[in-house]
């Protein structure tokens, strides 16, 4: 693409895309700002990378519209936008090649169950299994060795990577991506304790529902409900190795980072942000736009929208930081108390 073509392309997403520099030349690939060379495009979205404005060899750099680039425009061009990070994401999309997951059509080694309905242009890879009465939407791709059990519904334009397993009854919306090794709809962890110390398994009779435009990372596990549905809302992004237990409801456009563990019946609001390795006790609720820091342990509900939580047990960030500061001074406080105690012991008694 030429620089002018990239500028025109970005005007589809931004009200203003200002070109600084000659605007001449072609761009062959995107690259990181510190390693970009001639003919490549990069971006700066963080102030600490502004030092590369003078050093970079990139032919085109996307920056925030507030950045003064006049002194660096000789020999390169700049596009100034309101959100350079998102602009670069759109550029990456333009340059990215389609990923080949399976050859188009139904592979000869694939197994298609009785009564399965396949939409136009569906791809099913080698040794994949699609169970009885499944419905696969138009243009969806089922990767090699994936297993779609009976009565599963998958919407249009979905991508199911190799070795994914969708248990019976799972319902998946449109344009959903599920990465390799994930298991959707396994039994929830439900066992009734008995007087003799043994456990009786509780039948897990519900399903999993995943909304449109959700993405599930590799080796994630989302358990079916005991009754009803475990719900992953529209636009939710789940990272690798995340566990979502039975009967949880994850609100639209929430993001959950790797190794987070969410116990049963947690209700999470819209647009929440969950850090890596965060843990959640069961049957609690988070309001919309709650942020949970990495490795936090959430043990109770937080119903105020927009709360930022941190620590174990998780608390509003301002409270947790204050308590953390107090902990850092416990040693000196103890020394002071010991000193005061010794002074009191040395004072004469009596009256």
Per the annotation, the verdict on 246 as an active-site residue is yes
CA angle 63, 67, 69 (to 5 degrees): 85
Contact yes or no for 331/313 (Cβ under 8 A): no
Query: Is residue 85 classed as helix, strand or coil in its secondary structure?
Result: helix
Decide the pairing of beta strands 308-310 and 315-316.
antiparallel
Give CA separation, 84 vs 50, 51, 79, 318, in Å.
13, 16, 9, 30
Q: Which of 150, 246, 323, 329 is catalytic?
A: 246
Residues 6+ apart with CB under 8 A from 196: none
DSSP 242: -
CA 85: distance to chain centroid? 17
Distance CA 286, CA 317 (A): 15
Structure-token pair, residue 345 = 């012991």
Active site residues: 246
């Amino acid at each position: 693409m030429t620089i002018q073509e990239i500028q025109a392309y970005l005007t589809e997403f931004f009200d203003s895309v200002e070109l600084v520099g000659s605007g001449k030349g072609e761009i062959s690939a995107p690259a990181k700002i510190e390693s970009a060379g001639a003919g490549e495009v990069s971006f700066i979205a963080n102030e600490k990378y502004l030092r590369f404005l003078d050093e970079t060899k990139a032919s085109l750099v996307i920056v925030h519209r507030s950045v003064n680039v006049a002194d660096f425009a000789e020999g390169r061009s700049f596009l100034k936008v309101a959100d350079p990070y998102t602009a670069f994401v759109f550029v990456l999309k333009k340059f990215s090649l389609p990923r080949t997951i399976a050859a188009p059509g139904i592979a000869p080694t694939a197994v298609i169950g009785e009564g399965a309905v396949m939409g136009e242009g569906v791809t099913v890879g080698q040794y994949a299994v699609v169970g009885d009465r499944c419905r696969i939407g138009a243009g969806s791709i089922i990767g090699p060795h994936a297993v779609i059990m009976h009565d599963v519904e998958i919407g249009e334009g979905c991508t199911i990577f190799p070795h994914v397993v969708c248990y019976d009854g799972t319902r998946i919306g449109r344009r959903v991506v599920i990465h390799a090794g994930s298991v959707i709809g396994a039994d929830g962890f439900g066992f009734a304790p008995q007087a003799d110390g043994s456990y009786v398994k509780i039948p897990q009779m519900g399903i999993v529902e995943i909304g449109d435009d959700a993405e599930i990372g590799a080796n994630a596990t989302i358990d079916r409900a005991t009754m009803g549905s475990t719900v992953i809302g529209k636009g939710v992004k789940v990272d690798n190795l995340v566990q979502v237990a039975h009967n949880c409801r994850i609100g639209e456009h929430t993001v959950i980072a790797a190794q987070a563990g969410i116990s049963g019946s947690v209700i999470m609001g819209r647009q929440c942000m969950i850090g890596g390795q965060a843990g959640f006790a069961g049957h609690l609720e988070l309001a919309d736009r709650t942020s949970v820091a990495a490795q936090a342990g959430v043990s109770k509900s937080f119903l105020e929208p927009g709360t930022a939580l941190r620590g174990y047990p998780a608390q509003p960030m301002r409270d947790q930081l204050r308590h953390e500061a107090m902990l850092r001074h416990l040693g000196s406080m103890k020394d002071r108390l010991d000193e005061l105690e010794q002074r009191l012991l040395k004072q004469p008694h009596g009256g």
